[in-house]
Structure 1
Amino acid sequence: MKYMVTYDLMETVRNTNQWLGASAKALASYPAFAMLPNPTVQWMAAWGDVTERSFERMVAKPDWGIHSFTCDDGKDHLVSVETVVERPFGDLIHFAVQGRPAASRRVLLVAPMSGHYATLLRSTVVSLLPDCEVYVTDWKNARDIPVSCGKFDVEDYTLYLVDFMRYLGPETHVIAVCQPAPLTLAATAYLAEQDPAAQPRSLTLIGGPIDPDATPTDVTDFGRRVTMGQLEKTMIQQVGFKYKGVGRKVYPGLLQLASFISMNMETHSRAFTDQIQRVALGEASDHDKHNRFYDEYLAVMDMPAEFYLSTVERIFKGREIADNAFTVEGSPVDLGKITSVAVKTVEGSKDDISAPGQCVAALALCTGLPPEKKASHLEEGAGHYGIFAGRSWRNNIRPLVLDFIDANSGGQDAANTTAA
């Protein structure tokens, strides 16, 4: 499956379904059909509308959609997204609030590179903006990166984070969400040994697989069941001629999406059937609950093959982070070298992706860190998404994270109030 023809075949299927949806919508919308009181015509138009939008989303990067918010002065302030560090595989972006004095809390939000864009953290960013200067790792779609830019594996990812932390300086507070947690911990340890003056003040790890075997899930079981050869043969393809990354080996976003949907096929099928019915009855809207969710969920990106394969091999199978045996460019990265960066872990009791126990394992690995610099929180009743973007995050976890940041802000003003 690693050849371009397979990649192009998937894109052809997607494009064809988008065209079929657009055609059905256009045909059923002819004025002449309005004279025929047949619900089949309305259903056809609704099916076309939902189908076109669904398949069109799959190749479009969602917009952040954060344009303004009301500050403490009672005025609406515009928000602009600025690229402050530009790299081939990912940029460091800043959400600049126009007309507001710089917030004392500087936060680097490390987004996952796991099939979806960084915009998956939109609500997390919105919740932090009133109290923080927010920077986010904005990873790029591998299909759009020319082969001439070279490889990108877990070591390259770690060095990107090192560069971003160096750019932001030592007064930074890092929050890593899910997949990047192990590599963010490694990047912090790398700085602790190589460039101590550039270390962040604190590190918050949310629902990440520091030790995947601490509490096995379907995700970790899958990593154990398959061999690396099987993964490369069944998951890796080459980008077709339609995109700038032609020839680059990737784990295609469309293939990832198929896996996501297959895990809850009945739920997704019901959701789309219900949406078609709502469109036919005129009860749907452009930004209703269904569209808000699936506009993000269906927007997938290709992952560099070497990053995906090295993540499975080194983080899940080899447990290099869990065993403190990770290396970057041949040099060992000792997590015990972290001695001054405060570390907090956050887990959800109902997280079925990174189950409780996997993330908190980070604290035991930081053998050089005094107990007063370690903290953990288990959110009862929260699933994976809820611990960084849902009600649990907004009402319970976010205030705790801001308190943790303030308690470890050094020379910064620790008297900031945490908005509810």
Structure 2
Amino acid sequence: MRYLATYDVMESARNFNQWLGATASSFASYPVFAMMPNPALDWMAAWGQVTERTFQRMVAKPDWGIRTFTCEDGKDHLVEILPVVERPFADLIEFRVNGRKPMPRKVLLVAPMSGHYATLLRSTVKSLIVNCDVFVTDWHNARDIPVSAGKFDVEDYTQYLVDFMRELGPEIHVIAVCQPAPLTLAATAYLAELDPRAQPQTLTLIGGPIDPDAAATDVTDFGRRVTMGQLEEFAIQRVGFKYKGVGRLVYPGLMQLAGFMSMNADRHASAFNEQIMRVMRGEASDHDAHNRFYDEYLAVMDMTAEFYLSTVERIFKNREIARNEFVVNGHKVDIGKITDVAVKTVEGAKDDISAPGQCVAALDLCTGLPDSLKAHHVEPGAGHYGIFAGRSWRDNIRPLVIEFMDKNSRKSRSRKPANRNAAAG
């Protein structure tokens, strides 16, 4: 599979489907057909419109779409997205609200690099920007990074997080969503031991695979079923000639998307069939619920092969974080060295990606942390997406996280019993 032509063939197939949709929509919408109305032509036009949009979105990075914010003065203030640190594989960006005084909380939101762009956390950012100064890790699409930039694996990822935390200073509160949770925990432990003055005030881990074996899901089972040789042979490709990263070995976003879709194939098929019928009846709009969700969900990015393979091998198969055996740049990270950073874990009761039990394992690894600085929450009825971007996040989880930050900031920290619910174990 590791041939330039293979990647280009996959891209050509995507491009062909986009063209097919555009052609069907144009043909069925030809003005002359208005003289003889035909439901089949109406359906073809709707199918073409939905199909073209679907395949077009797969190669376009979504816009953050956060342009203004209404402050306490009742006025809309412009929001600037500014780079704080620029690196080949990621930028640290700030959402700066012009004309607003500094907020009482400075938050680093660590976005996942698991096939989607950081814009997947758009609604999370919007909810935090209300009363926090927000910074986000904006990971780059590997296909756009020249081979000359070098490799990028889980150790490099962790070092990026260490550098970003150092840049922002010890007053920050860190929130890691899903995939980066174990590596953010490792980065915090790294700082706690080697540069304690740069460690954050609090760390919140949301739905992350700290211990993938704590509760099996389709994702963790897949990691167990296949060998590393099989993954490297069938999942890794070389970027084709169209992009700056030509020749770079990657795990293609389109392949990752196929895996995402197959996990809930019936639900996705039903959603697209319903959308076609809505377009046919004239009930759809450019920013309706379907398009808002799938414009983001279908926009995928490539990951470097070394990052994808090292994640599967070291985080899922060998469980180096769960066993406290993770090494960064030759230094063995000891999570037990975290003694002054309050840690909270959040899980969704119906999360089918990082099932309840996987994330809370972080608290047991923090052997040097007093119980008064540990907290855990399981959100009833919430799936994976809901715990950081849905109603469950807005109404229940976000207020708890903000309260946790305020309670455990170093200026107002109180030593109270752990905030564990019955599901914490």
Per the TM superposition, whether the score is higher than 0.5 is yes
Q: Distance in 2 between matches of 1:216 and 1:29?
A: 49
Q: Distance in 1 between matches of 2:77 and 2:409?
A: 26
Superposed, which structure 2 residues align to 1:20-169 within 5 Å? Answer: 20-169=20-169
The DSSP-based 3-state class of the residue aligned with 1:224 is: helix
Q: Distance in 1 between matches of 2:80 and 2:22?
A: 33
Superposed, which structure 2 residues align to 1:337-348 within 5 Å? Answer: 337-348=337-348
Q: Distance in 2 between matches of 1:176 and 1:88?
A: 21
Deviates more, 1:195-204 or 1:24-33: 24-33
> What is the identity percentage for the equivalent residue pairs of Structure 1 and Structure 2?
76
- What amino acid is aligned across from residue 341 of structure 1 in structure 2? V
- What amino acid is aligned across from residue 150 of structure 1 in structure 2? G
Give the superposition deviation at 1:308.
0.4
Superposed, which structure 2 residues align to 1:250-329 within 5 Å? Answer: 250-329=250-329
The DSSP-based 3-state class of the residue aligned with 2:389 is: coil
2:240 maps to what in 1? 240
- What amino acid is aligned across from residue 12 of structure 2 in structure 1? T
Q: Distance in 2 between matches of 1:175 and 1:228?
A: 31
- What amino acid is aligned across from residue 263 of structure 2 in structure 1? M
Which structure 2 residue ranges, 5 or more long, are not aligned? 415-425
- What amino acid is aligned across from residue 185 of structure 2 in structure 1? L
Q: Distance in 1 between matches of 2:7 and 2:272?
A: 26
Give the superposition deviation at 1:331.
1.0
1:409 maps to what in 2? 409
The CA deviation string for residues 74-126 of structure 1, in whole angstroms up to 9 with x for no partner, is 22111111111100001101111111111120000000000000011011101
Over the aligned positions, Cα root-mean-square deviation in angstroms equals 1.2
1:417 maps to what in 2? none
Give the superposition deviation at 1:413.
11
- What amino acid is aligned across from residue 76 of structure 1 in structure 2? D
Q: Distance in 2 between matches of 1:194 and 1:240?
A: 41
Deviates more, 1:49-58 or 1:259-268: 259-268
- What amino acid is aligned across from residue 29 of structure 2 in structure 1? S
The DSSP-based 3-state class of the residue aligned with 1:213 is: helix
- What amino acid is aligned across from residue 122 of structure 2 in structure 1? R
- TM-score (normalised: structure 2): 0.96
Q: Does 1:366 align with 2:360?
A: no
Report the count of equivalent residues. Answer: 414
- What amino acid is aligned across from residue 141 of structure 2 in structure 1? N
Give the superposition deviation at 1:31.
1.8
- What amino acid is aligned across from residue 96 of structure 2 in structure 1? A
The DSSP-based 3-state class of the residue aligned with 1:241 is: coil
2:349 maps to what in 1? 349
Q: Distance in 1 between matches of 2:407 and 2:113?
A: 30
Give the superposition deviation at 1:3.
1.2
Contact 1:104/1:413 (CA < 8 Å) preserved in 2? Answer: no
2:418 maps to what in 1? none
Q: Distance in 1 between matches of 2:280 and 2:217?
A: 40
- TM-score (normalised: structure 1): 0.97
The CA deviation string for residues 330-361 of structure 1, in whole angstroms up to 9 with x for no partner, is 11001011110110111111111111111111
The CA deviation string for residues 153-177 of structure 1, in whole angstroms up to 9 with x for no partner, is 0000000000000000000000000
The CA deviation string for residues 47-98 of structure 1, in whole angstroms up to 9 with x for no partner, is 1111110000000000011111222222211111111110000110111111
1:418 maps to what in 2? none
Which structure 1 residue ranges, 5 or more long, are not aligned? 415-420
2:421 maps to what in 1? none
Contact 2:407/2:413 (CA < 8 Å) preserved in 1? Answer: no
2:420 maps to what in 1? none
2:205 maps to what in 1? 205
- What amino acid is aligned across from residue 373 of structure 2 in structure 1? K
1:176 maps to what in 2? 176
- What amino acid is aligned across from residue 290 of structure 1 in structure 2? H
- What amino acid is aligned across from residue 411 of structure 1 in structure 2? K
Q: Distance in 2 between matches of 1:413 and 1:280?
A: 58
Give the superposition deviation at 1:410.
2.1
Contact 1:347/1:379 (CA < 8 Å) preserved in 2? Answer: yes
Contact 2:25/2:48 (CA < 8 Å) preserved in 1? Answer: yes
Give the superposition deviation at 1:264.
1.4
Contact 1:88/1:145 (CA < 8 Å) preserved in 2? Answer: yes
The CA deviation string for residues 7-60 of structure 1, in whole angstroms up to 9 with x for no partner, is 111100000011111112222222222212112222221111111100000000
